[in-house]
Amino acid sequence: MKKKVFLGIGAIIIMFIGWSLYGLFIAKPASPLATVEGSYDDLNMVVVYSRPYKKERLIFGEESDEALQPYGKYWRLGANAATEITFSKAVNFSGKPVDAGTYRMYAIPGPTNWEVSLNSELDVFFGVAEPNYDLDVAKVQIPVQSAPETEQFTINFERDSTSAIMNFIWDKTLVSIPITIQ
């Protein structure tokens, strides 16, 4: 009898290990990890984030409408781990001074503007947990613009004559943050 119990437990453990290894190394992630780089003059920026898909869902909206990301609620700017950004030099993040370094980046979306924050709390794998707000180093209000419908959440960089522009694009929403060297 004990032998059957041990064999059963052993089989369950082997199945769990196999399932875990498959999920970590073989299965295509639902929200793949991405690294995007941008530069402006001597400034280099790197963002590491996961890119969820829309999949016919309401992305931004009211909680009562079952939006994936309700207005007024914390969002890690992607999926899985918290989104992180690294600046090679001290910058002005939409006018707010920020030292060179790596920061957790998150937003609180709204219908007409987003509050985007940089936070010194790093290495947060499941970024679902809200950050320690006392560790915020910059918080900016950015207007929402309309954009062509985009299936997969995208962060990219552009340049204009005075700054680098970091864009968040998803569904029909575009949020652009100017970044200049201090």
Model confidence pLDDT, tens digit, residues 83-132: 999 999 999 999 999 999 999 999 999 999 999 999 999 977 666 788 99
More confident residue, 31 or 70: 70
C-alpha 95, offset from chain centre? 21
What confidence score (pLDDT) does residue 128 get? 74
More confident residue, 19 or 145: 145
Spell out the residues 6+ positions from residue 173 whose beta carbon is closer than 8 angstroms to its own: 59, 60, 109, 144, 145, 146, 147
What confidence score (pLDDT) does residue 17 get? 83
Give 82: exposed, middle or buried? Use CB within 10 Å, 0-12, 13-18, 19+: buried
What confidence score (pLDDT) does residue 115 get? 98
Confidence of residue 81 (pLDDT cuts 50, 70, 90): confident
What confidence score (pLDDT) does residue 169 get? 98
Say if residue 20's pLDDT is above 80: no
Confidence of residue 27 (pLDDT cuts 50, 70, 90): low
Pairing mode of beta strands 113-119, 69-70: unpaired
What confidence score (pLDDT) does residue 123 get? 79
SS3 111: coil
What confidence score (pLDDT) does residue 15 get? 82
What confidence score (pLDDT) does residue 6 get? 75
Kindly state the percentage of the chain with pLDDT values over 70: 92
